[in-house]
Structure 1
Amino acid sequence: MSSLGALIILLAILMAIVGGETGIRSFFSVMINTILLILVAMLISWGLSIPVITLIFVPLKLVTIIFLGTHDYTVAKNSFYASLIVLLAVSVLIIGIQHLAQAAGLGVEAGEILLGHSQMPGISYEEISVTVAVFSALGAVAEAAVSISSGLLELKKAKPEIKEHELLKSGWAIGYDVLGTAMNTIVYGMFGSFLSLFLWYYRLHYTFGEIINDKLFVNEALIIMYSLMGVLLTIPLASFLLAKGMSRSKSEAKNGNETNRTKEL
Structure 2
Amino acid sequence: MSTLIALIIVLAVLMTIVGGETGIRSFFSVLINTLLLILVAMLISWGINIAIITLIFIPLKLATIIYLGTHDYVVAKNSFISAFIVCLLVSLLILGCEWLAQAAGLGPEAGEVLVGLSQMPGLSYPMIAVTVAIFSTLGAIAEAAVAMSSGLLEIKKHHPEITRKELEASGTSIGNDVLGTAMNTILFGMFGSFLSLFLWYFRLGYTFGEIVNEKLFVNEALIILYSLIGVLLTVPFSTFLLARGMSNENEVNNEDRKSNSN
TM-score > 0.5 by shorter chain: yes
Q: Is the 8 A contact 2:74 2:246 kept in 1?
A: no
Between the aligned partners of 2:213 and 2:36, the Cα distance in structure 1 is: 32
Could you tell me which residue of structure 1 aligns to residue 156 of structure 2? 156
Identity %: 71
Q: How does 1:59-138 map to 2 (within 5 A)?
A: 59-138=59-138
Could you tell me which residue of structure 1 aligns to residue 190 of structure 2? 190
Could you tell me which residue of structure 2 aligns to residue 48 of structure 1? 48
Q: Is the 8 A contact 2:40 2:53 kept in 1?
A: yes
Amino acid at match of 1:10: V
| 1:260 Cα deviation after fit | 5.4
Ranges in structure 2 where 5+ consecutive residues have no aligned partner: none
Between the aligned partners of 2:19 and 2:200, the Cα distance in structure 1 is: 41
Between the aligned partners of 2:195 and 2:159, the Cα distance in structure 1 is: 47
Amino acid at match of 2:234: T
Task: Pick which of 23-32 and 206-215 moved more.
Answer: 23-32
User: Is residue 2:232 matched to residue 1:227?
Assistant: no
Task: Pick which of 98-107 and 70-79 moved more.
Answer: 70-79
User: Is residue 2:173 matched to residue 1:173?
Assistant: yes
Q: Deviations over 1:69-91 (max 9, x none)?
A: 22222222221111101101100
| 1:162 Cα deviation after fit | 2.3
Task: Pick which of 187-196 and 153-162 moved more.
Answer: 153-162
| 1:120 Cα deviation after fit | 1.2
Q: How does 1:204-219 map to 2 (within 5 A)?
A: 204-219=204-219
Ranges in structure 1 where 5+ consecutive residues have no aligned partner: none
TM norm structure 2: 0.96
Q: Deviations over 1:89-113 (max 9, x none)?
A: 1000000110011011001111121
| 1:258 Cα deviation after fit | 4.8
Between the aligned partners of 1:147 and 1:202, the Cα distance in structure 2 is: 38
Q: CA RMSD in A?
A: 1.3
Secondary structure of the structure 2 residue equivalent to 1:194: helix
Q: How does 1:232-243 map to 2 (within 5 A)?
A: 232-243=232-243
Task: Pick which of 144-153 and 38-47 moved more.
Answer: 144-153
Give the total of aligned pairs: 262
Task: Pick which of 131-140 and 114-123 moved more.
Answer: 114-123
Between the aligned partners of 2:18 and 2:41, the Cα distance in structure 1 is: 33
Q: Is the 8 A contact 2:33 2:61 kept in 1?
A: yes
Q: Deviations over 1:207-249 (max 9, x none)?
A: 0000000010000000000001000001011110011112222
Between the aligned partners of 2:74 and 2:193, the Cα distance in structure 1 is: 35
Between the aligned partners of 2:184 and 2:146, the Cα distance in structure 1 is: 18
Between the aligned partners of 1:203 and 1:250, the Cα distance in structure 2 is: 61
User: Is residue 2:21 matched to residue 1:21?
Assistant: yes
| 1:6 Cα deviation after fit | 0.7
| 1:66 Cα deviation after fit | 1.2
Between the aligned partners of 2:22 and 2:172, the Cα distance in structure 1 is: 26
Between the aligned partners of 1:7 and 1:251, the Cα distance in structure 2 is: 47
Amino acid at match of 1:106: L
Task: Pick which of 227-236 and 61-70 moved more.
Answer: 61-70
User: Is residue 2:6 matched to residue 1:6?
Assistant: yes
TM norm structure 1: 0.95
Amino acid at match of 2:185: T
Task: Pick which of 134-143 and 161-170 moved more.
Answer: 161-170
Between the aligned partners of 2:4 and 2:260, the Cα distance in structure 1 is: 59
Q: Is the 8 A contact 2:62 2:80 kept in 1?
A: yes
Amino acid at match of 2:183: M
Could you tell me which residue of structure 1 aligns to residue 244 of structure 2? 244
Amino acid at match of 2:174: I
